[in-house]
Amino acid sequence: MAHRARPQDPATDEALLAVMGATCSSLSPERAQRLLAFHRALLATGAEALVAVDSVGPSSALQQLMFCSEPGVLSAAKLLHTFPLMPLAEAVSRVYPLEAMYAVRDVGVRAKLEALLSGLAEDAAAGDAAYVVSQSVQMDSDPQHPSIRLEFTPSATAAASGGGGVPRLPSPLEEGSAMQEHHMKLLTEMLQSHAIGIRDQS
Amino acid sequence: MIVRTGKDLCLIGERGAGKSFVARHFARATGYAPVETVFIYSDMTARDLLQRRTTGEDKETLWQPTPLTRAAVSGRLCVLDGIQRLPTGAISALLRLVEDRELTLFDGTRYVRPERYAAMRTELGMSEEELTAKQIFPVHPGFRILALATPPTGEAPWLTNEMLHLFHFFRLSIDLTSEEGREHSTALLQAVVPGLPAEVPHALATFAAAMGNMEADQSNTVSASVSLRLMLRAARRAAIYPTDFYEIVAAGIM
């Protein structure tokens, strides 16, 4: 029997919301909806670009338009669940790094994407905390699968995989240390993403 | 249902901006140090990435695990340094490991994600010995990847849709040509290199900024960027052999 190609539609909002409900219980429905709205708007922009290619001719810049995939949306949702004060735009920037994308040097593409991302802006009260990692502690756990506890300020704690060595956070204030404030901010962001793990049971 | 909500990490920054430095601190902060490191090159194949073929003393074929495979099996952090250079063929080999945590090696060994390995034991009733006899092993649940890359360019637009959904992305952006960048590099050199003559950090930072501006000039065909790494090298030499600035630059950078 010959293999056949079949179209695969994107997951419905209901399906994605159900997964978010199971894995990201502390994410508010309003923030979940806004994440999904961004995802849908990006897909619609891509679909418009394809129509434009068919009718007017190829637009290489828009062909390079990149998408925030469904796992990407779920991953941003998991970040917001673990770090409830994280701004929506910051969570999205981890999975959709606009500033690093070469295609956005095209002025038209950039304008479209910035307009979509501006929809993620929210009241300061909803999420404006700059988390800082405060502690990394080895946990008593299965020696075959070592884990650590990461603590952040303002209050957020997460258990994460560790390598088995004694975790040690750098101090930007140590004499002779090359670790500066912006390095510490970056390290905090990386540890936040590490803290959400890789897989969840829904 | 298992949902992949988390991702491995990718740190993007210009050459010499301090990516390896941040990666080292990430490994220490999570207890993953020492890490397995793979330096990616442009004609790297899936074999180079996963399992290398060698010949034994009796001319027999031997398969050797690479640092990436060793990390996947032993639950370590693997740093993929220069992922922007990874060719398309090797990306497809990496995709399955990053997305599904599964791997089929050239000697027939299969590594499956831990949940699937557990399901094979419970649902299929296979013992560990039976799975081992079939060369099926679990990928270690603690295995993580940290990729390092330079920003995508027109010549190397590596950040494609395919790569976009593999990682969480972080940007280390220091513009050494800006006032803030000069202050940053001056402060860093002063903090890291003890015994450095007082005028050297600022002079080096200004020199690096001037060279950066020269490189930004499209009409200039000479690649002239001076990275933080080169500045540190020059500063360390200047601390040991204090001499005039021309000599510091000529010996430490050029």
Interface predicted TM-score of the whole assembly (ipTM), two decimals: 0.89
Cβ neighbourhood burial of A52 (10 Å; 0-12, 13-18, 19+): middle
Give residue B209's pLDDT. Answer: 81
B184 part of contact set with chain A, CB < 8 Å: yes
Contact A163, B30 (CB under 8 A): yes
B112 part of contact set with chain A, CB < 8 Å: no
Give residue A58's pLDDT. Answer: 45
Q: What is the mean pLDDT of residues A70-74?
A: 90
pLDDT at B187 over 90: no
- Note which residues in 88-127 of chain A have CB less than 8 A from chain B: 93-97, 99-103
**For residue A183, which residues of chain B lie inside 8 Å, CB to CB?**
18, 21-22, 25
Q: How far is CA B244 from CA A27, A123, A174, B205, in A?
A: 60, 55, 30, 16
What is the value of pTM for the model shown? 0.87
Give residue A32's pLDDT. Answer: 93
Q: Using the beta-carbon criterion (under 8 Å), do A166 and B151 form an inter-chain contact?
A: no
| Nearest residue to B137 via CA among B108, B166, B159, B165 | B108
For residue B175, what are its two tokens? Answer: 């513009």
Give residue A48's pLDDT. Answer: 74
Looking at CA atoms only, how far is residue B60 from chain A in angstroms? Answer: 34
* Amino acid letter for position A195: A
pLDDT at B26 over 80: yes
Q: Using the beta-carbon criterion (under 8 Å), do A189 and B170 form an inter-chain contact?
A: yes
Q: Using the beta-carbon criterion (under 8 Å), do A186 and B172 form an inter-chain contact?
A: yes
pLDDT at B114 over 60: yes
- Cα–Cα distance measured from residue B252 to residue B235, given in angstroms and rounded to the nearest whole number: 8
Please state which of the ranges A17-26, A46-55, B65-74 shows the lowest mean pLDDT.
A46-55
A183 part of contact set with chain B, CB < 8 Å: yes
Looking at CA atoms only, how far is residue A39 from chain B in angstroms? Answer: 13
A72 part of contact set with chain B, CB < 8 Å: yes
Q: Cis before residue A154, ω within 30 degrees of 0?
A: yes
pLDDT at B136 over 90: yes
Residue A188 CA, distance from chain mean position: 14
For residue B218, what are its two tokens? Answer: 């499209």
pLDDT band at A202 (very low <50, low <70, confident <90, very high): low
Which among A71, A100, A164 has the least Cβ separation from residue B31? A164
Looking at CA atoms only, how far is residue B21 from chain A in angstroms? Answer: 9
Looking at CA atoms only, how far is residue B115 from chain A in angstroms? Answer: 10
pLDDT band at A62 (very low <50, low <70, confident <90, very high): low
Which percentage of chain B shows pLDDT scores above 70? 94
Quote the Cα angle for A140-A144-A147, to 5°.
40
Q: Using the beta-carbon criterion (under 8 Å), do A187 and B157 form an inter-chain contact?
A: no
Instruction: Name the strand (E) or helix (H) holding B99.
Output: helix B88-100
- Cα–Cα distance measured from residue A17 to residue B165, given in angstroms and rounded to the nearest whole number: 19
Q: Using the beta-carbon criterion (under 8 Å), do B168 and A161 form an inter-chain contact?
A: no
Which among A77, A163, A176 has the least Cβ separation from residue B31? A163
- Cα–Cα distance measured from residue B203 to residue B52, given in angstroms and rounded to the nearest whole number: 47
pLDDT band at A109 (very low <50, low <70, confident <90, very high): confident
- Note which residues in 26-55 of chain A have CB less than 8 A from chain B: none
Give residue A127's pLDDT. Answer: 58
- Cα–Cα distance measured from residue A44 to residue A97, given in angstroms and rounded to the nearest whole number: 19
Cβ neighbourhood burial of A170 (10 Å; 0-12, 13-18, 19+): buried
A196 part of contact set with chain B, CB < 8 Å: yes
Give residue A61's pLDDT. Answer: 47
Q: Using the beta-carbon criterion (under 8 Å), do B3 and A19 form an inter-chain contact?
A: yes
Q: How far is CA B42 from CA A165, B149, B184, in A?
A: 33, 13, 33
**For residue A189, which residues of chain B lie inside 8 Å, CB to CB?**
170
Phi, psi of B35, deg, nearest 5: -105, 165
Give residue B69's pLDDT. Answer: 96
Looking at CA atoms only, how far is residue B61 from chain A in angstroms? Answer: 32
